[in-house]
Amino acid sequence: MLIPASGYRDRSNSRISRQQLLAEARSDSHSLKALTLFNSARKQISAWISGAFNLSQEGDHDMAKLANKANPTATSEAVAQTTFSTKDVVRDNLRVTEIDETNSAQLEGEIKRLQALLAKVKAAPEPVDPASVLATRSRFLELAGAEFNRANRYGRDLTLIVAKVSGYQRVLENYGPEAAEHVMFCVTEICTSATRLGVDIMGRTEDNKIAMLLPETDLQGAENCLDRINKLVANQPIVIDGEAVKVGMMFSARPLRKEHTSFEQLLASA
């Protein structure tokens, strides 16, 4: 009960005074209960607001917990699937990154290897003579030298034939370089037809000379090859600008001997 600041009231004076005091007391009691209820409601509202804020901050994890209360099995499976899916995506992304880096390194290595090979090919001498389509002198010496060493090591027969086109210089002067190269191409076709494809080694050693190395062939076998060449020359005239041109050919044959220590020595003797 609240006592007015005007002074103390005498409760024993009259009945009206006691009734007024009871009314005041009831009023004060109602006010106190209202205040208590208000404070309690305020605390509950604050707690609810705080809980809602925390739930918002926690995000999907708390939502999964709340959903788990309604259906624990389904929610656990969904959370597990989401977790595994996330792990799979991360793992796959890492794997793709590793594969990309590996492929990139392999590609760079392959590009460097091809560039080195291309540089080596450009630096190497031309292996084929463009006019006769035979091996160039350097390439012929390389191939013939390997075959010479094999035959010399195992004591096998080996014979070298050198064909010289006697009319080459005359054709060059009268018809020009293209006609002279055409003559060498025709001679090459004739010699190729008389030799063994994939066995005998042929090359253009000079402008007007063609060398033929015959493995596993003695001098008699080389003479048989020369006979075939002569027959082809007689039956296949060389035509330039519609005119048949007579071209002479001279041959020399040298079999491998014990005194030959290198193929260059054998070639020089032919």
Residues 249, 189 contacting (CB under 8 angstroms): no
Please check the confidence at residue 225 and state whether its pLDDT lies above 50: yes
Taking only the tens place, the pLDDT of each residue in 92-117 is: 655 656 666 667 777 777 788 887 77
Q: How many CB atoms lie within 10 A of CB 209?
A: 17
pTM for the model stands at 0.55
What tens digit of pLDDT does each residue of 34-89 get? Answer: 555 555 655 665 555 555 445 444 544 554 554 455 555 544 554 445 454 555 55
- Residues with Cβ < 8 Å from 152, sequence gap 6 or more? 158, 256, 260
- Of 164 and 83, more confident: 164
CA atoms within 13 A on the CB side of 161: 26
Considering the chain, what is the average pLDDT of its residues? 75
Q: What is the pLDDT of residue 184?
A: 93
For helices 60-70 and 72-123, what crossing angle results, to 10°?
140
pLDDT digits (tens, 9 = 90+) for 113-144: 887 777 766 665 668 888 888 999 999 999 99
Is residue 137 exposed (0-12), middle (13-18) or buried (19+ Cβ within 10 Å)?
Answer: middle
Q: Which of 191, 201, 196 is nearest to 226 (CA)?
A: 191
- Residue where the block lists tokens 């020399």: 252
Residue 20: alpha-carbon gap to chain centroid = 105
Question: Which fold does the domain 137-269 belong to in CATH?
Answer: Alpha-Beta Plaits (3.30.70)
Which are the contacts of 169, defined by CB distance < 8 A and separation ≥ 6? 208
For the ranges 19-33, 141-155, 174-188, the lowest mean pLDDT is seen at: 19-33
pLDDT tens per residue, range 70-79? 555 544 554 4
CA angle 132, 134, 135 (to 5 degrees): 140
Q: At what angle do helices 219-235 and 177-194 cross, to 10 degrees?
A: 130
The CA distances from residue 218 to 128, 205, 230, 245, 259, in Å, are: 27, 22, 19, 33, 16
pLDDT of res. 53: 46
Q: CA-to-CA distance for 229 and 210, rounded, in angstroms?
A: 13
Residue ranges of domains in the chain: 15-58, 72-124, 137-269
The predicted structure's pLDDT at residue 133: 87
